[in-house]
Amino acid sequence: MTHVVTRSCCGDASCVYACPVNCIHPTPDEPGFATAEMLYIDPASCVDCGACVSACPVGAIKHHTKLTDAELPFVAINEMFHAEPAPRPPQARTPVYERLRTGGATLRVAIVGAGPAGLYAADELLRHDDVQVTVVDRLPTPHGLVRSGVAPDHPDTKAVSALFAKIEELPGFAYSLGVDVGTDVSHEDLLRHVDAVIYATGASDDTRLGVPGEELPGSHPATSLVGWINGHPSHADASFDLSAERVVIIGNGNVALDIARILATDPERLTGTDISDQALRALRGSRVREIVIVARRGAAQAACTLPELTSLSRRDDLTVLVEGDLHLDEGTQRARRDGTIDPLLDHKISLLESLADRSAPDDDRPRIVFRFGLSPWEIEGARRVEGVRLGVNTLRVIDGRVTAEPTEEAITIDTSLVLRSVGYRGVPLRDLPFDPATGTVPHEDGRVRQSDPASPPVYVTGWIKRGPSGYIGTNKTDAQETIASLVADVNIGRVPLGSATREPLDSFLTRTLPGVVDLATWRAVERFERVRGAAARRSRRKVVDPELIAAVAERVSRPGGRPMRPQV
Ligand code: NAP
C-alpha cells in the first residue's frame, strides 16, 4: 500500500492523468466514472511516485504513512475497489482538444454562473488562444457551492478555491459579479457583446415533498440551512429554531449528513472555520442533542456516499446509530448471499449494520440517528411544527428500481424543526427550454436544444445540464464536453465571431450597472475576509452584506486606493 485517496476526493480526475502507471480508477473513459463516489488507487500497482498528490486540487491523496486514524478505513476502501482484477483500458490520456480556429479573430464568451461548473468551463476555454471569457454571477462573490454549499468543517474540500484562483488569473478572464442575467441584463444584451453564452447556473431551488404541513414555520429546505451556515446572502437572515432537543432531517444524501454533523458538533470546534457569524452565534445557543435522519428506502439505497458515512462513523465526539430495521431489499440480500454484491456497497451496508448493533452510550454526546423505510406523510402542528408523521414502507422493485411502497403503519416523531433534504433543483432560464421533470435544460453534449434551429447556439454545463449529482470535480469532465461542442461549432461557422469590434461585456456591465464586482474587487474582498478572520483566529470571516462589499469595491476603485482595513 502506498498512496490512498481519502474522503475529500473531488472526482476531477487530475490524478488519473498525472499517474504514470494507470493505477487510479475509474478513469473518465470507464463506464463507472459518472457514478463513482470517489476515485481509488490500486495498491498493487501504485509505484509511490506522488505525482497524484501534486495533481489533486483538494489534498485528498495521502501517503499511507500519513493517514490519520479517521482516514485509516480508506486503505481498505481503495483496496476493495481493485479487489476484483478487472480488464483496464490503456492509460487515460489528457483529452486532446480540437484546435479552436478563429482565423485570427477573438472568440468572446459569457459564462453565466461563477461556481465550479462555470470556472471549469472558463478553464477549458482559456486553454485555447484568442479567447476572452466574462464570468457573470448574480451574487457579488464567486465560487458558488464551494463558498456557500460545502460544509465549513470540510476545509479540505474548499481548498479547490486555490485552483479557481489560478483560473481567474488566466489571460482573457474577467468577472462581472453582482449581475442578474434575466433581471439586470437579458440574454440578447449579452449576445451584443459576446459570440456565445454558456449557462452554468446550477440548481438553486429545492425539491418539494408535497405533503401537508410543508409550509409550517419550523419546516425548512436543507438548502436554506446550508446557505445560512455558509453566509449565502439570500439566507443570511434566516432563523432556525434550535431550542428543542430533536431535529428531523428528511432524506439521507450527503447534504443531510453535512447538516446533521454541523448541528451535532460542539460549536467551539467550528470557530476556526469560515462558518457565518450568525450561524456560529445561533449554534452556541443550540439545545439540539439528537438529529434523526429519515430515509424512505433501505440501507442499500442510502444516498450518502461511503466516504462521508465512513468519516461520520469515526467521530468520537458524536454518537452515530441506526435505529430500527435496515430495510434490506430482497435483491441486495440475495446478492450478499451469493457473493455477487459490489464490495463497496457491501461494506457500506456492513457499516450501517455495525451502527445498528451499537447501543446508545449513556453519556451526553449528541446523537445522529439513521432510520430507514419511512416516508413523510405530514408535517404536523397547529401553528408551527410539532412533529412529523411518517409512513412505514416495504420495498418493491418497479421497472428495475427498488421503490418504497407504503403500508398502513405509521409513526410520529416529535420535533419542532424539520429539514427537508431531498435534493436541489434547477430553475428555468428565461427564453431557454426546460424539463420540469429533471429541473434541467435539454441539451446535446452541452448544446441547448432549441425549437428554432436558426437561433444562435447556447450552451449549458454543470447541474443545470445534468441535474444535481456528482462532486465538485465532476464539473471538469462535464465542462470538457460542453467546450468541445462550442469549439466544434466555432470551427464550422455555427458561431459567427464578430463581437470583438464591440465594447467588451465586462466594461459594458461595469459602465451601465451599479456595484458590479470585478476580479480586483473580489480579490480585495477575499483579503478583507482573511484579515478579519485571522484577527479572530478563523480561516476567514465572510462578508455577507452587499453594502460592505460595495464599500470594499469603492476603496479599490479609487485612484491609488488602498485595501480597506477591517474593524474586527
Ligand atoms: P441526494 O444525494 O440526491 O439525496 C436526496 C435524498 O432525498 C435521498 O435520500 C432521496 O431518497 C430523498 N428523497 C427525494 N425525494 C424524496 C421524497 N419525496 N420523500 C422522501 N425522501 C426523498 O441529494 P443531496 O443530499 O441534496 O446531494 C446533492 C448532490 O450533492 C449529491 O450528488 C451529493 O453527493 C452532492 N454532495 C456531495 C457532498 C460531499 O461530497 N461531501 C456534500 C453535499 C452534497 P431516494 O434515494 O429514495 O430518492
- Which helix (H) or strand (E) segment is 484 a member of? helix 474-491
- DSSP for 541-564? -----HHHHHHHHHHHHSTTPPPP
The DSSP output letter for 217 is: T
Half-sphere exposure of 412 (CA within 13 A, CB side): 10
Q: How far apart are CA 201 and CA 443, in angstroms?
A: 15
Q: In whole angstroms, how far apart are CA 508 and each of 126, 132, 189, 194, 379?
A: 21, 14, 10, 11, 49
Ligand 1 center from residue 86 Cα (angstroms): 30
- For residue 372, the tally of other CB atoms under 10 A from its CB is 27
Task: Take atom 38 of ligand 1 and give the residue whose Cα is closest.
Answer: 254
* Residue 470 CB less than 6 A away from ligand 1: yes
* Residue 255 CB less than 6 A away from ligand 1: yes
Task: Take atom 7 of ligand 1 and give the residue whose Cα is closest.
Answer: 422
List of E strands, 450-567: 458-460
Res 568: pLDDT: 43
Task: List per-block mean pLDDT (blocks of 10 residues) for the chain, which spans 568 residues.
Answer: 91 93 92 92 93 95 95 95 79 79 94 98 96 97 96 95 97 97 94 96 95 97 96 92 96 98 97 95 97 98 97 96 96 96 96 92 92 98 97 95 97 98 94 94 95 87 96 94 96 88 94 94 94 91 84 70 55
Res 559: pLDDT: 56
Residue 542 C-alpha cell reads as 465572510
Ligand 1 center from residue 254 Cα (angstroms): 6
Task: Take atom 34 of ligand 1 and give the residue whose Cα is closest.
Answer: 254
Ligand 1 center from residue 421 Cα (angstroms): 7
Beta pairing partners, 133: 109, 173
SS3 420: strand
Task: Take atom 23 of ligand 1 and give the residue whose Cα is closest.
Answer: 423
* Residue 254 CB less than 6 A away from ligand 1: yes
| CB of 60 closer than 8 Å to CB of 156 | yes
What lies within 8 Å, CB to CB, of 217 at 6+ separation is 383, 384, 385
| Best residue among 154, 375, 422, 424 to mutate for probing ligand 1, ranked by most atoms within 8 Å of CB | 422
The DSSP output letter for 517 is: B
Ligand 1 center from residue 307 Cα (angstroms): 15
Helices (H), 169-245: 187-191, 222-229
Domain boundaries, the chain: 3-81, 107-204+426-512, 210-422, 519-557
Task: Take atom 16 of ligand 1 and give the residue whose Cα is closest.
Answer: 422
Does 3.40.50.2000 match the CATH number of domain 210-422?
Answer: no
Residue 348 C-alpha cell reads as 457500506
If phi over 0 gives left and psi between -120 and 50 gives alpha, with beta otherwise, what is residue 560?
left
Residue 237 C-alpha cell reads as 437572515
Fold (CATH) for 3-81: Alpha-Beta Plaits (3.30.70)
- Which helix (H) or strand (E) segment is 521 a member of? helix 519-535
* Residue 158 CB less than 6 A away from ligand 1: no
* Residue 402 CB less than 6 A away from ligand 1: no
The separation between CA 301 and the C-alpha centre of its own chain, rounded to angstroms, equals: 20
Residue with cell 446572502: 233
Q: 306-313 vs 254-264: helix axis angle to the nearest 10?
A: 20
The separation between CA 228 and the C-alpha centre of its own chain, rounded to angstroms, equals: 16
For the chain, the residue count is: 568
SS3 112: strand
What lies within 8 Å, CB to CB, of 361 at 6+ separation is 319
Ligand 1 center from residue 89 Cα (angstroms): 31
What lies within 8 Å, CB to CB, of 411 at 6+ separation is 374, 389, 390, 392
Fold (CATH) for 107-204+426-512: Rossmann fold (3.40.50)
Q: How far apart are CA 23 and CA 40, in angstroms?
A: 8
Q: How far apart are CA 140 and CA 161, in angstroms?
A: 16
Q: How far apart are CA 465 and CA 439, in angstroms?
A: 9
| CB of 153 closer than 8 Å to CB of 130 | no
Ligand 1 center from residue 72 Cα (angstroms): 26
Q: How far apart are CA 205 and CA 218, in angstroms?
A: 18
Residue 155 C-alpha cell reads as 476545509
Residue 373 C-alpha cell reads as 423505510
Res 89: pLDDT: 72
Q: How far apart are CA 517 and CA 525, in angstroms?
A: 10
Half-sphere exposure of 425 (CA within 13 A, CB side): 19
Residue with cell 473531488: 10
Ligand 1 center from residue 77 Cα (angstroms): 22
Res 411: pLDDT: 98
